[in-house]
Structure 1
Amino acid sequence: MILSFAVSGYRSLRNLVLPLDRVTVVTGANGSGKSSLYRSIRLLADVAQGRAISSLAREGGLTSTLWAGPEIISRTMKSGEVPVQGTRRTSVVSLKLGFSDEDYGYAIDLGLPVGDGTSFFNSDPEIKAEALWAGEALTRHNEIASRNGPSVRVLNGQGYRVPVMRNLVSFDSMMTHAADPRDALELLVMRERMRSWRFYDHLRTDLDAPGRVPRIGTRTIALSGDGADLAAALRTIQEIGNPRLLDEAVEDAFPGSRIEIRVTDGLFEVLMYQHGLLRPLRTSELSDGTMRYLLLIAVLLTPRPPPLLVLNEPETSLHPRLLEPLGRLVATAAEKTQVILVTHAHQLADQLAICDGCLRYELRKELGETVIDDVDSPRWNWPKR
């Protein structure tokens, strides 16, 4: 389980170190930084896939995602005694992301390039430093692997930090290029752990949604991001997961209803039987809310739960009556996987907040910065460049 998440210099997240629990619920008004927090966690996961630089490019590049306020927000700025203004910088410009779990911790520092002006890619961010360590917070005693510039060093079996790479390019992570079962097993373990995190923020339910169309199905232990393989995912739960929980989740949300997966000419399709109707409804006939709830069932009852599941506003298009069943569904999933849930729905947040092993954060903006009141931040140290 991830114990803490840290981010610095990303959009409105100037400097946050948050403890996490089995369920972590994030709420707040529009513009308070909820989406930025979600994206920062997803960006950290992209490091293990080798996609961090391209992900930043899709957001407009590093300069578009960096904290745009002053380096230091003074007490007098907060009180309004002096205007919010920048001062001469005392530290380098950087975007930092990191986390620690029960075994290891990892952090990455991305910064602006120092180029000679000849490359067309001089605006690409560079990976300045990375570190992998054992324990809660990075120290010079518990560091297992480190990257500074092009050099990667790893702690060997004799207790010495030895170089394993000397020419790692600035856009490649040691997580993807130095992980090795013989010389850097811990890096390999952490990389695969991060690659198994799952994120859902755009489960389509419109009339042209991929999940409404019958299609060829294969065993599906993780629903795709657009929900295209809904029928296969639900059938996978019925065959190798927990079909009883699936039936109960449908009944809880839609009393008197049940679902069936039908295969015609090799095409998988979801049919929904509802009390009082003489024939089942096809997914093309379901409301957006019903469709979304079936997608969430497939996400949360996966037969192979990931170590971390992150949901961004799953309540979109759901009727308020479905929020209580959704809360129970999330609580059931949290018995086997860690969940981070970003939501506008206070009813859903309130319901989960009373569960054992749940933390709730209410985000707000202060002078453009996302802040959270009364957070007991864990000890944290960033790797040095």
Structure 2
Amino acid sequence: MLTAFSLKDFKSFREATLPLGSLTVLIGANAAGKSNAIEALRLLSWLAQGQKLASIQYAVNSADRVVRGRLEDLCHRGATRFALGCHTDDRVWNRLEMQITVRDGELHITGEQVDAVGDNLPLYTMDRPSQNLSTDAGVAYNNFARGGNKPHVTVSDQMAVFVQLESAARFEAGHKKAQETIPAVAKRLQTTLSNILFLDPVPARMREYSFTSDKRLLGDGTNLSSVLHRLWGRDAESTSEPFAGQRQAILDFIKSLPEQDISGLSFLDGPRGEVMVQLQETFGGQPRAYDASLLSDGTLRVLAIAAAMLSAPEGSLVVIEEIDNGVHPSRARHLLDSIRLIAERRGLRVLLSTHNPALLDALPDAAVPDVVFCYRDPDSGASKLVKMNSIPDVPELLVQGPLGHLMTSGALERFVKTHKGSEDRKQKAKAWLESLRVGMPIKTPV
């Protein structure tokens, strides 16, 4: 499971780490850099799927682009390379670092390493990056033998190294521990990163039929009906698990919608194995069914969030940008409670981004320490990330009002940028007292 994500010299960021808790809320003003941080995470996840850097230009320009802008825009001002990395909760081999360089209008991985925090010897490291027009790079790997030069394998610098080390056959026959350990670690990394779901629902795409064979929700929610169909199950299975619990969880999510009394779901069948979800609504004792083509944007977004939380692989990360879109302020707390409950039950990590004060005010007290504030450094202009419980003297800030008010009034940003921590103030006071002592004439005893 991911515990943190790091980036260096990527777009507006000079260097930053995004810690990930069971429910992490990323906040900040427009253009502060929130989307850039999520784009960097998306790029790392995309590489974990075995994608090649050579094809990113098409991904940049397509509707399903991984990152926005030109290749030259990926690096921080004046830089020609950037770095991505992550930490996991594995006991060993729990840190990945990757460096990507823009060279002659192309991207190349020029450094990648997996190691453990506090361990000097990595599991593997790219120590021979490609040169000129070549894409072949050399990677030294740990053969778990003392001393000597470490053996090497040749890899392509167009793909993440760890996706190329999933076979024991890549390593020398005599290095049994390397053959067992490195592919296992590589596969865990690949699974952890590629399973990240980036949910950015597009209601217009969710109003169509989708095939029942689809198991995983797509990021834009296109196959929402088929995923809900799989989660809801047949009526004959409604009292057995997991369908009974999943049905109740979906209905609990729908309670985030105002002015609706939804009693259940049903599905329209298409001629080729397609389905379209219907909501069963009751008003004044009169039941009515509304299919996806008639549902509001807000209703479809809430259904997509429910489907994402219930269908994502256990232990994975779900990323939801601008979660407040289409959600009524009066239902924000209920939606957050539903997300937190499912995340804890299924062992998920959830990263939300928002700048909606109503949603921030609805955050449970237990979630406030995991809020991450994104802002621009007043001197360099670089984006920075700071976790709420890492802000010096943060109780002084929180007693001034709810989090949503603190952000919209600018109090949070002013406090982060200008407040001097107690330790800093203590040192300045000490220096001031010392200056007084040095400048004071010493009286000679009579």
Query: Is the partner of 1:37 in helix, strand or coil?
Result: helix
Matched, 1:169 2:163: no
2:396 matched residue in structure 1: none
Distance in 1, matches of 2:69 and 2:257, equals 40
**1:220-239 mapped onto 2 (5 Å cutoff):** 220=215, 222-239=216-233
Contact 1:331 1:352 in 2 (8 A): no
Structure 1 range deviating more: 342-351 or 55-64? 55-64
Based on CA coordinates, which of the two structures has the bigger radius of gyration? 2
Query: Is the partner of 1:316 in helix, strand or coil?
Result: coil
How far apart are residue 164 of structure 1 and its match? 4.3
**1:156-305 mapped onto 2 (5 Å cutoff):** 156-158=143-145, 162-166=150-154, 168-181=155-168, 182=179, 184-185=182-183, 186-201=185-200, 203-206=201-204, 209=205, 211-218=206-213, 220=215, 222-239=216-233, 240-241=242-243, 242-253=246-257, 255-264=260-269, 265=271, 266-276=273-283, 278-302=287-311, 304-305=313-314
Contact 1:128 1:170 in 2 (8 A): yes
Give the AA of the match of 2:191.
E
Change (3 A) 1:246 1:225: same
How far apart are residue 270 of structure 1 and its match? 1.1
Structure 1 range deviating more: 5-14 or 243-252? 243-252
> Across the two proteins, how many residue pairs are aligned to each other?
338
- TM-score when normalising by structure 2: 0.69
Distance in 2, matches of 1:11 and 1:50, equals 23
Matched, 1:133 2:115: yes
1:371 matched residue in structure 2: 384
Contact 1:4 1:20 in 2 (8 A): yes
How far apart are residue 338 of structure 1 and its match? 0.7
2:403 matched residue in structure 1: none
Query: Is the partner of 2:366 in helix, strand or coil?
Result: coil
Give the AA of the match of 1:97.
L
2:432 matched residue in structure 1: none
Contact 1:25 1:353 in 2 (8 A): no
Matched, 1:309 2:318: yes
Query: Is the partner of 1:317 in helix, strand or coil?
Result: coil
How far apart are residue 325 of structure 1 and its match? 2.4
Where do 5+ consecutive residues of structure 2 fail to align?
61-67, 130-136, 169-178, 234-241, 392-446
Distance in 2, matches of 1:132 and 1:24, equals 25
Change (3 A) 1:252 1:289: closer
CA-to-partner distance for each residue in 1:1-47, whole Å, 9 max, x for gaps? 32222111111111112332222110111100010011011111122
Structure 1 range deviating more: 43-52 or 146-155? 43-52
Give the AA of the match of 1:365.
R
Contact 1:21 1:357 in 2 (8 A): no
Change (3 A) 1:274 1:337: same
Give the AA of the match of 1:27.
I
Distance in 1, matches of 2:217 and 2:288, equals 27
Change (3 A) 1:364 1:19: same
Contact 1:165 1:178 in 2 (8 A): no
Query: Is the partner of 1:249 in helix, strand or coil?
Result: helix
State the percentage of identical aligned residues: 21
In proportion to residue count, which structure has more helix?
A: 2
Change (3 A) 1:165 1:353: farther
Contact 2:372 2:387 in 1 (8 A): no
Query: Is the partner of 2:376 in helix, strand or coil?
Result: strand
Distance in 1, matches of 2:313 and 2:364, equals 25
Query: Is the partner of 2:106 in helix, strand or coil?
Result: coil
Distance in 2, matches of 1:194 and 1:290, equals 29
Question: Structure with the greater relative contact order (CA < 8 A, sep ≥ 6): 1 or 2?
Answer: 1
Distance in 2, matches of 1:61 and 1:49, equals 22
How far apart are residue 195 of structure 1 and its match? 1.5
1:112 matched residue in structure 2: 102
Structure 1 range deviating more: 279-288 or 263-272? 263-272
How far apart are residue 159 of structure 1 and its match? 5.7
Query: Is the partner of 2:203 in helix, strand or coil?
Result: coil
How far apart are residue 133 of structure 1 and its match? 1.1
Give the AA of the match of 1:130.
E
Distance in 2, matches of 1:260 and 1:51, equals 37
Distance in 2, matches of 1:314 and 1:197, equals 16
Structure 1 range deviating more: 123-132 or 324-333? 324-333
How far apart are residue 52 of structure 1 and its match? 6.1
Distance in 2, matches of 1:303 and 1:35, equals 22
Query: Is the partner of 1:313 in helix, strand or coil?
Result: coil
Distance in 1, matches of 2:75 and 2:297, equals 36
Give the AA of the match of 2:332.
L
How far apart are residue 163 of structure 1 and its match? 2.8
1:338 matched residue in structure 2: 349
Structure 1 range deviating more: 4-13 or 60-69? 60-69
How far apart are residue 67 of structure 1 and its match? 0.9
Contact 2:33 2:375 in 1 (8 A): yes
How far apart are residue 357 of structure 1 and its match? 8.6
Distance in 2, matches of 1:2 and 1:297, equals 22
Where do 5+ consecutive residues of structure 1 fail to align?
70-91, 114-121, 378-385
CA-to-partner distance for each residue in 1:53-111, whole Å, 9 max, x for gaps? 23466134432111126xxxxxxxxxxxxxxxxxxxxxx73200101111211010011
Distance in 2, matches of 1:285 and 1:43, equals 35
